[in-house]
């Protein structure tokens, strides 16, 4: 007699890949062509591929450590147990800082994008006011419920995907090889500007908070989760390369100097592309895509910050408790948006600085501590101590580069 055992369907690989790719890809991609204009296309590709390699492996190291704990164990739990309370405080502070600084960045970005969008309709709304108003709308959605955010994000993400393919298809059709190969400059210099791109690259591959979530989703199945991380990060890398090709193949390198001097915000870049393309259809698609890109990133980051603060301060899920959390989530970055409306590029850079801790340094330390305590019964990242050393050096190097850049000790393309 044959016994039939009912089994629930396993979650699809595609779901995990979408979670990782969707987390990585956001409005921060608009900063890449501006900060990489000095190094230009081919050197920027090298920086992106190297960063992808390091950030993929730091995520795999986090998975290696995570597999030694019960399903549902958070990043904080693992860090506290393996590295102690001190590192856990540092890690938690860096996560909070990144979420706050990204919330401010997206308020700045939303203000500039809405100002540019409304200006096309002959409606003059200052960027400060536009960003403040958009932040109020997002704050209301986040205050309502997580379900409201989820539904709105699904709508915005769907629209972003559609406009992405339409926009990039049009942009790639206008790429000029002479522009991409920078034939207008007689003796261009690229390598001096390479280092300053690294913190922005690092900030563009942040997904590490999702690794424990994937283990909760798939169970202790390292092979499946590894495929999710590899494919999700590769999709993001491919998208960034296409984005650089579309922008650097349409906007001449010297024009990026003016874009950076104007603050490097999204509206300036979109305006420069519109001027070069001279296509009303692509202009509209670019504007629509940039609005949806900012909205999806804004919703995702603020929900993460909202949940983090609610857990940290013990606020309940009642309307009053959610109001307290919403005020703590939105008031500081909204004040920053009113005082410094054009800080998008700077904010993304500082996010990269803080992300070096929880996305590079801490995962490498967790892998080392995990191997000492548990061995590697389920999965071990290849490369041994050398790979751990590489990821540590990558994280520390990014921090040093950002500090040098902050004190104007690195060359700037201008």
- Tokens matching residue 299: 């919703």
333, 103 Cβ separation under 8 angstroms? yes
* pLDDT at 300 > cutoff 80: no
Amino acid 58: pLDDT: 96
Share of the chain above pLDDT 90, in %: 37
Between 304 and 84, name the one with better pLDDT. 84
Lowest average pLDDT, out of 197-201, 351-355, 388-392, goes to 351-355
Amino acid 286: pLDDT: 83
Amino acid 10: pLDDT: 66
Strands (E), 240-314: none
**Mean pLDDT over residues 125-152, rounded?**
86
Q: Label residue 221 by pLDDT band (50, 70, 90).
A: confident
Q: What is the CA radius of gyration of the chain?
A: 22
The answer for residues whose C-beta is within 8 angstroms of residue 333's C-beta and 6 or more apart is 100, 103, 104, 107, 135
Amino acid 38: pLDDT: 94
CATH number of the domain at 20-406, out of 3.90.1150.180, 1.10.10.10, 2.60.40.10, 1.20.1740.10? 1.20.1740.10
Residue with tokens 């690259």: 201
* pLDDT at 3 > cutoff 50: no
* pLDDT at 294 > cutoff 90: no
Nearest residue to 165 (alpha-carbon basis) of 246, 233, 275, 249: 246
Q: Label residue 406 by pLDDT band (50, 70, 90).
A: confident
Nearest residue to 296 (alpha-carbon basis) of 140, 149, 131: 149
Residue with tokens 């504007």: 287
* pLDDT at 175 > cutoff 80: yes
Amino acid 9: pLDDT: 55
Share of the chain above pLDDT 70, in %: 98
Domain boundaries, the chain: 20-406
Amino acid 8: pLDDT: 47
* pLDDT at 131 > cutoff 80: yes
* pLDDT at 4 > cutoff 60: no
335, 377 Cβ separation under 8 angstroms? no
* pLDDT at 231 > cutoff 60: yes
Sign of the Cα torsion 119, 121, 123, 129 reads negative
Amino acid 328: pLDDT: 92
**Mean pLDDT over residues 33-40, rounded?**
94
Distance CA 365, CA 65 (A): 10
> Chain-wide mean pLDDT for the chain?
86
- Tokens matching residue 7: 């089994």
**Mean pLDDT over residues 55-64, rounded?**
95
The secondary structure element, H or E, covering residue 134 is: helix 127-144
Lowest average pLDDT, out of 46-60, 89-103, 276-290, goes to 276-290
Amino acid 39: pLDDT: 95
Residue with tokens 């200006």: 119
């Amino acid at each position: 007699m044959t016994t039939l055992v009912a089994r629930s369907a396993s979650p699809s690989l595609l779901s995990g890949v979408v979670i990782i790719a969707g987390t990585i890809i956001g409005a921060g991609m608009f900063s890449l062509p501006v900060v990489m204009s000095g190094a230009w296309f081919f050197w920027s590709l090298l920086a992106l591929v190297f960063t992808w390699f390091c950030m993929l492996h730091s995520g795999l190291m986090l998975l290696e450590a995570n597999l030694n704990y019960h399903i549902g164990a958070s990043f904080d739990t693992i860090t506290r147990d393996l590295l102690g309370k001190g590192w856990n405080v540092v890690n938690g502070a860096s996560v909070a800082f990144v979420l706050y600084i990204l919330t401010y960045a997206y308020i700045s970005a939303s203000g500039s994008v809405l100002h540019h969008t409304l200006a096309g309709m002959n409606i003059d709304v200052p960027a400060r006011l536009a960003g403040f108003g958009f932040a109020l709308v997002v704050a209301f959605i986040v205050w309502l419920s997580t379900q409201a955010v989820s539904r709105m994000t699904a709508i915005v993400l769907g629209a972003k995907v559609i406009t992405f393919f339409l926009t990039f298809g049009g942009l790639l059709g206008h790429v000029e090889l002479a522009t991409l190969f920078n034939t207008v400059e007689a003796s261009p210099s690229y390598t001096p500007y390479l280092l300053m791109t690294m913190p922005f690259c690092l900030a563009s591959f942040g997904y590490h908070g999702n690794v424990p979530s994937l283990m909760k989703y798939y169970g202790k199945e390292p092979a499946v989760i590894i495929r999710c991380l590899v494919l999700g990060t590769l999709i993001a890398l491919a998208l960034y390369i296409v984005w650089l090709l579309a922008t650097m193949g349409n906007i001449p390198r010297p024009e990026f100097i003016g874009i950076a001097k104007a603050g490097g915000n999204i509206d300036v870049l979109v305006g420069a592309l519109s001027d070069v393309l001279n296509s009303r259809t692509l202009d509209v698609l670019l504007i629509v895509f940039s609005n949806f890109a900012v909205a999806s990133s804004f919703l995702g980051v603020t929900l993460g910050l909202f949940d983090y603060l609610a857990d940290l301060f013990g606020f309940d899920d009642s309307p009053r408790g959610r109001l307290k959390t919403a005020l703590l989530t939105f008031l500081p970055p909204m004040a920053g948006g009113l005082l410094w409306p054009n800080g998008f590029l700077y904010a993304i850079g500082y996010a990269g600085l803080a992300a070096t801790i929880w996305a590079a340094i801490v995962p490498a330390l967790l892998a080392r501590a995990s191997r000492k305590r548990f061995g590697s019964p389920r999965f071990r990242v290849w490369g041994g101590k050398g790979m751990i050393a590489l990821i540590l050096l990558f994280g520390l190097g990014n921090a040093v580069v950002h500090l040098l850049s902050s004190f104007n000790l690195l060359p700037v393309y201008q």
